[in-house]
Structure formats: C-alpha cells, structure tokens
A and B are shown apart, each in its own frame.
Chain A
Amino acid sequence: MNDFRVLKLLDRLRGVFKRAGVDYEMLRSILQVKLTMDGRRTPTVLGTQKSGQETEGSPLRVQWIYLLLGLMLILFVVPDSNYMLTMSVLFAVVMFMITTTLISDFSSVMLDLRDKNILFSKPVDRRTLNMAKSLHVLIYLVSLTLTLTAPSLVVALFKQGVLFFLIYAVEILLMDGFILVITALLYLLIMRVFDGEKLKDIINYIQIILSIGIAVGYQLVPRLFNMTDLTGSFQPVWWQYFIAPAWFAAPFEVLVGGSRGTEFTVLAVLAVIIPLILLYTYIKLMPLFERSLQKLAEQGAAGKDSGRYPRLLSELLCRDKAEAMFFRFTWAMMRNERDFKLKVYPTVGLSLVLPFIFIFNQVWSSDPAVHTESKAHLFIYLSALLLLTVVQMLRYSASYKGAWIYRTIPLPETAPVYRGMLKAALLRLMLPLFVLESAVFLWLFGARILPDLAAVMLALPLFALICFRVLPPALPFSEKYEAAKQKEFSVSGFVLIFILMGMAGLHYMFTLISPGVYIYLVILAAVNVWAWRAAFPRKGSQSGQIPTLGA
C-alpha cells in the first residue's frame, strides 16, 4: 500500500478534523485502503485501452484524455469579452465530462455495499465514516477537475488577471460539490423509485452516452469554433435560470466584465447559493442514502420478457434443438451479465456514432450532389466493428466457472454452440443498432441507398463469422475477464478491420457499375450460405472438439 500524497496533504488538516469530531487516524486508514483499491480497479472509460500495468496510484489512469480536452478549454478563457457565452460553454463541457465520468467510473465506489458489513460492524462512528466516504469521492472529483481545468486556469491567470483566476478556482470547487450532490440525489431518487437493478442499468446507459460524448466531442469541438462566432451578444432568457453552466458564467460577467443587469446578478448569486443549499441537503440525507443502499443488495425481479421472444426467434432461425438452446442461453446471458454489458455497451455507443463522424462533412455540405450520388453511406460498414468486440467478449464471463457445464452435458459437437451464439449476438446487439443506423442514413441520403443497406445487412453475418474464425475459438462465457488483459487481440483486430474495409471496398466497386449492387447482393447471399455451412460442418471434423477451458 502506498502512502498517498493526498493523505500527506490531508495530514495538515488533522487539527480541523479533530475539532469537527472526526477520528483522524481512522479516517486516514479508511481513505488509504479505499485509494489503494481504486488503483487496482480498471477504469471503464475507454476500457479498451491496455490495462495490464499494475500501477497503484490515483483512481485516474485515463488522465491524458482529460488533459487534452483541458488544452482545448484554453480557447474559451482567451477572449476578453462576452464572458457569459464563453464561460457557459466552458462550464457546460466541464460539467458534462465530470458528471459522466463520475457516474460511469465512480458509481461502484459510491454504491459499494461491502462497506456496510465490513465497516459498520467495527467501532467506527458514523461521522468519521461519512466523512471518509465523502472525502474519498471528493479527492477523486477534484483531481479529475484539476486535470481538466489546469491548463485553462494557468492561461486565465496570465491573460485575464488574478480576479478572474480566483473566481474560476472557487467556482470549480463549487461545481464539484454541485455535481457530487446532484449525482447522489439522483441515485437516491432512482433507488427510492426503482430497484437496484434499474440503477445499474441506468449506469450502463450513462456509459454509452459518455463514449458517444467523447467521440462526438472530439469531432465537434473544433468545428464549433467555425460555426458560432463568439461575438454574438448574450440575451438573458428566462429558462437560463435553470441552466447550471449559466450560473457559473454569470460571476465573470458581473465581476470581470462589469455588466450590471439584474439577470446577471441573480444568476451569479445562484452559482453560490444552490451548491451550498444542496450540500447542506446532502449532509442531512446521508443516513437515508445509506439505508437505501441496502436495496441494491436485493435481487430485483429479472425481467419476464426473456421467455417468449427469444424462444420464437430461436425456433425460426436455428437448425436444430441444440443450436436453439445455445441461442437462448447466449441471449439470456448477454441480457443479464453485468460485466458483459459494461465492456460491450461503450462499444455499442461508439459503433453508433463512428459512421456519422465520417460522413459529417458530407452531410453538412450544401452540395446537392451529396444526396444523389455520394457513396458516403458505405461508412455504415464501420458499425460492424461492434461485432469485433462482441465476438471477442462473448468468451468472457464473471461466472466463467459455470463452464464446467459444457463438459458434463452430452454434447456431441460444438458447432451448434457457436452457431447459436453468433446468431444471438447478431440479433440482439447488431441488428437493432444497424436498423437504427439505417433509419438515420435513409433520412439523410434518401431511399436510393436501400439496396446498399440490404447488402450491408447481408455482409454483417458474414463478418461475424469471419471474426469468429480469425479470433481463437472459445466457448461462450467460459473464460475469466482478467484473462482478457493477457491475451492481446490487437493483431487479429487489425486483420479484421482490414477485412471489413476490404468488404466495404468491394461493395464500392460493385456500385460503380449500374446493377452492381444487386449482383453483390446475390453473391453475398450465396457466400453467406456457403460460409456458414463450411464453418460448421454437420458432423465430426476438428471444430467438433471441445476446446480446453482456459482459466
């Protein structure tokens, strides 16, 4: 266990804590343990990164991306006028980043159930415990915000002067408090109204939003400067009183910019008052929060839709009973396995936006040719990258030990297992995404791309099959997640991306001749039938062997 720098910093405040009735030594060891455990957690944001190294340290290992975003924020503190607009945008960006990261990456800490049994049964008084918990989240929040805002803070000090810098610094702290409390209250509300399962689902959705946000933000932020000129004057409207970033921007307008409107003063006061009121409420509601946490432990009733729908699909699409069985099994596991969703859902978000990022320029251009001739809609192939992740992740499970079942059941061959697995993955994850994507593409490019979309749809099962064959074979849900770190799939990953690009290229070539798409369609259909047969021969052969269950 390291002795963290933050703790040494806190040591200086020992007296303050003692006076507040907190057992400082206890507080310190709780925080130390918590920070150590954070260092051993893999962050879910951009979880696809290499996460092998075992550095113990701050909860943040993805800091470079925040630093990068922080550098972009400098642009907002440079202009000398119109603080209301620039600072509103700045705070909106910062608040978005901080909130989504807090929810997706730190929820597990805020909602840790083990705390109750482990810590409450020890002679630790409530005040110390609550303080430790709040400080823990706050340390995280502040370090995150500092990474994000440090560049703009420094620039602001030199460009705008000390007053601006001080307002900025104080407001960052207020904003952290605001975000922390809002998130906690949001959780409290969800826990009061729904069960724990729902809350975990909502956290999953937030993760999707976060990865979309980062991907789109990368593309949008630079463009934003071209589109809006930052000179437009600001007109206060009533609904702006409800927009938090506007509160935080107002003090700059009043104190630095010298505006004297009542609206600005009201907004500026809100920036100080609201976080303080919320903080007070939070402290009052802390016991209620702890009690509601218990709800998370309760098993929510698993949804009932798991029965009929997949059964119908499995009967329609599967050749034999064994295949249908594994189709339903994979379907149910993908639906229920929390860790699978955590790993795959961010990719769902990414696959959803990736095609749009590439067509962005085309769609926004005013050239009418785009809507009649452009082949940019072929970028929809990028959404198939989801299959790459899914096929790769299907082998993992938190309850991988349950895989003994494959060895004990009388299973003559594994082909039905894989067939059922791939079909379930295609139908449950890929198809809804593709349909959604197609709908937007149809709206953007018009009905002329319909045959192309049909071709892509046929290409998806083929690509799923290719993914499966290129990646080393493994039974579904039979390996441990930690193993994912050791096995680097990057080489196979690159190969598969090239294959996908090749498929899109082939499609493009066919579109150059007039009935080409239809020829491509027929070829694809034939290849699909042949490939699925060839990959999973009826009886015997090597693929019939049950691969050794690796741990």
Chain B
Amino acid sequence: MGLTEEPVISISGLWMNYSDRMVLRGIDLEVYRGQIIGYIGPNGAGKSTTVKIMLGLVEGYTGSVRIFGRDIADGDTAYKRRIGYVPEIAELYDSLTAREYLTFIGELYGMKRNEADAKAERLMGLLNLEKAYDMRIASYSKGMKQKVLLISSMLHDPDILFLDEPLSGLDANSVMVVKEIFASLAAQGKTIFYSSHIMDVVEKISSRIILINGGDIVADGTFAELQEQSREGSLEDIFNQLTGFDKYRDIAGEFVAVLGEGATHE
C-alpha cells in the first residue's frame, strides 16, 4: 500500500449520537484496496452504526465520510452500486423464492434480469442450494438464509463488501469456502470490511484489525502489531485487555455461586 494510493474509504471526525447517548466519538479511518478489515468491539460499541452510516442507512452524523473519493452526503447514491452489504439480522423478503429475491436485488444494483438470474443460479449451485433456488426463503434454515444474503451482497461484483457477522449459522465446510472467497476477492483488490464476535476467525482472516470501544478506535493494526502492543497471546486476550475487561473469572464464579443458592430441587 503505497502512500500515493487513494483510500477507498476515508472517514474523519465521525460523531454520532442517538437521542440519549453518544455512539461514535470522533472516528478517523482510512481503508485501502485489498484490505480485509476485522472491525471488532463489545456489544453497543458502535460497529453496526459505522457501517450503517457508510451505507446511508443512518443520517444525522457529523464529520465526513468519503467513499471512492466522494462525500456520501452529496445525495448521489451511485456509489452504492459498487458496495455489497450483509446486515446483522438476516433481513430479507422471505415470502419470495431465492430466484425472485436474488434477481430483484441484482436489478436494484443495475444488472439485467437474465444476467442476474443466471449468475445467482450458478452461485446457489456452488453453495449446494440448487434445489432450494425455487423455494420460498421463509422455509430455509438459518445457514441457508445466510448463504442467500452472502450471494445477494456479491452478485453484482462490488468493490467493497460490508459484512456484519457474515459467517453466522454456516457449517464448518461452508465457513471454509466463504473464508477462501474473501481471501481471493481481497487478492483481486477488493476491500472487505466485516465485524464479528468470533475472535478466532477475525484473527485468522483479517489483514488489519480495528477495535472500537465506547465509540472510539482503541487499536488499529495487523494481528502481529496488536500482539506486540499489548503483549497478549490471542486476539481474545487482547480484546479483553483493551476493552478493560478483566473480571471474567469473578463474574463466572459469582454466576455459578448463584446457581447453587436456595433450596435444592427434587
């Protein structure tokens, strides 16, 4: 990553508050082509909010967000054509069949109907869902829905992927396939920005890890760099240390103590 290269995403001084509390307190961030970014932090740290702001789903922030060099607040939604998104909660129109849904999403991204259909069918087949392609999504299992969401986010071959817990519900084999897909896409120069709570996965596939806590970036670097900074072994330990969470043994101990309290049941 040379310094001459233009960042794909560039955020500066991003503040956001919902009615009662501050969610983001001055995020500054530059992301370049080919990076796989693991965006981690405790629940409520502001991860999803950051992603939603970049997608234009949340308004009312202060600061500037530039994607592909253009400020997203300028009202032109064309930049979304080069973005794919997997939301945290599997939200989709599940009374449609996968064929109908994926074709529709493809069209929204400006693809031709036939092209979207053909491509989606092949991708579904590759993820072992060819039989389910004409079934309603409502009848799918969690993992199948997740696969549909993943396909819908990549169908139009975007340059940036925003993924919120992209591997949830997938079996071990599918996880391997999807991880490999991410790696190949990054090698092609695409940018992947994803958040997850599963530290092992983040540790293995991210080329850069950003940890936010309380609306601030508290760590930013490769896994090796973070290890060096905090002198901890695993990302889980680093996470605990940086978010100031060291009482897990006490809490667990107390939890078990409460379970044993009171009269014994028959």
Chain A interfacial positions (CB closer than 8 Å to B): 1, 25-26, 29-30, 32-33, 36-37, 40-41, 114, 116-126, 291
| Complex: chain B residue closest to A482, CB-CB | B138
- Once A114-B92, A114-B93, A118-B91 are accepted as A-B contacts, the answer to whether A123 and B100 lie under 8 Å apart by CB is no
A128 → B minimal CB distance (Å): 10
Please determine whether B57 and A123 come into contact, CB atoms closer than 8 angstroms: no
A251 → B minimal CB distance (Å): 42
Q: Which residues of A contact B95 (CB under 8 A)?
A: 37, 40-41
Please determine whether B78 and A123 come into contact, CB atoms closer than 8 angstroms: yes
- Once A1-B100, A117-B57 are accepted as A-B contacts, the answer to whether A37 and B93 lie under 8 Å apart by CB is yes
| A259 and B87 alpha carbons, distance in the complex (Å) | 62
Q: Which residues of B contact A114 (CB under 8 A)?
A: 91-93
Q: Which residues of B contact A117 (CB under 8 A)?
A: 57, 87, 91
Please determine whether A122 and B100 come into contact, CB atoms closer than 8 angstroms: no
Please determine whether B92 and A116 come into contact, CB atoms closer than 8 angstroms: no
- Once A114-B91, A118-B92 are accepted as A-B contacts, the answer to whether A33 and B81 lie under 8 Å apart by CB is no
Please determine whether B107 and A121 come into contact, CB atoms closer than 8 angstroms: no
- Once A26-B107, A33-B93, A33-B104 are accepted as A-B contacts, the answer to whether A120 and B56 lie under 8 Å apart by CB is yes
Most buried by A among B77, B79, B105: B77
| A116 and B93 alpha carbons, distance in the complex (Å) | 12
Q: A33-B96, A118-B105, A122-B109 are in contact. List 5 more A-B contacts (CB 8 A).
A: A29-B108, A36-B96, A37-B93, A120-B55, A122-B108
| A441 and B256 alpha carbons, distance in the complex (Å) | 59
**How many of B's residues come within 8 Å of A, CB to CB?**
26
Please determine whether B93 and A124 come into contact, CB atoms closer than 8 angstroms: no
| A125 and B56 alpha carbons, distance in the complex (Å) | 11
Determine the main DSSP class of A at the interface with B. Answer: helix
Please determine whether B107 and A29 come into contact, CB atoms closer than 8 angstroms: yes
B226 → A minimal CB distance (Å): 30
Most buried by B among A29, A32, A119: A29
| A116 and B89 alpha carbons, distance in the complex (Å) | 13
Q: Which residues of A contact B113 (CB under 8 A)?
A: 29
Interface string of B47-66 (1 = CB under 8 A from A): 00000000111010000000
Which one, A25, A37, A116, A122, contacts B96 given CB within 8 A? A37
Q: Which residues of B contact A118 (CB under 8 A)?
A: 91-93, 105
Q: Which residues of B contact A122 (CB under 8 A)?
A: 80, 105, 108-109
Interface string of B105-117 (1 = CB under 8 A from A): 1011110010000
The answer to whether B85 has its CB under 8 Å from any CB of chain A is yes
Chain B interfacial positions (CB closer than 8 Å to A): 55-57, 59, 77-81, 83, 85, 87, 91-93, 95-96, 100, 104-105, 107-110, 113, 136
Chosen A-B contacts, 18 in total, with CB atoms closer than 8 Å, are A26-B107, A29-B104, A29-B107, A33-B100, A41-B95, A114-B91, A117-B57, A117-B91, A118-B91, A118-B93, A119-B108, A120-B56, A121-B57, A122-B105, A122-B109, A123-B81, A123-B108, A124-B108
| Complex: chain B residue closest to A290, CB-CB | B59
A314 → B minimal CB distance (Å): 20
Q: Which residues of B contact A120 (CB under 8 A)?
A: 55-57
| Complex: chain B residue closest to A29, CB-CB | B107
| Complex: chain B residue closest to A116, CB-CB | B57
| A25 and B81 alpha carbons, distance in the complex (Å) | 15
| Complex: chain B residue closest to A128, CB-CB | B77
- Once A33-B104, A117-B57, A117-B87 are accepted as A-B contacts, the answer to whether A123 and B96 lie under 8 Å apart by CB is no
| A30 and B108 alpha carbons, distance in the complex (Å) | 8
B60 → A minimal CB distance (Å): 9
Please determine whether B104 and A123 come into contact, CB atoms closer than 8 angstroms: no
A161 → B minimal CB distance (Å): 46
| A275 and B253 alpha carbons, distance in the complex (Å) | 66
Which one, B79, B80, B87, B108, contacts A26 given CB within 8 A? B108
| A1 and B85 alpha carbons, distance in the complex (Å) | 25
B109 → A minimal CB distance (Å): 6
| A32 and B92 alpha carbons, distance in the complex (Å) | 16
Q: Which residues of B contact A1 (CB under 8 A)?
A: 100
Which one, B78, B85, B110, contacts A121 given CB within 8 A? B85
Q: Which residues of A contact B91 (CB under 8 A)?
A: 114, 117-118
| Complex: chain B residue closest to A26, CB-CB | B108
A506 → B minimal CB distance (Å): 46
Q: Which residues of B contact A124 (CB under 8 A)?
A: 77, 108
For the complex of A and B, the 4 pairs showing the least CB-CB separation, nearest first, are A123-B80, A122-B108, A123-B81, A40-B95
Q: Which residues of B contact A116 (CB under 8 A)?
A: 57
Please determine whether A36 and B55 come into contact, CB atoms closer than 8 angstroms: no
A58 → B minimal CB distance (Å): 16
A13 → B minimal CB distance (Å): 20
Please determine whether A123 and B107 come into contact, CB atoms closer than 8 angstroms: no
| Complex: chain B residue closest to A291, CB-CB | B59
| A126 and B92 alpha carbons, distance in the complex (Å) | 20
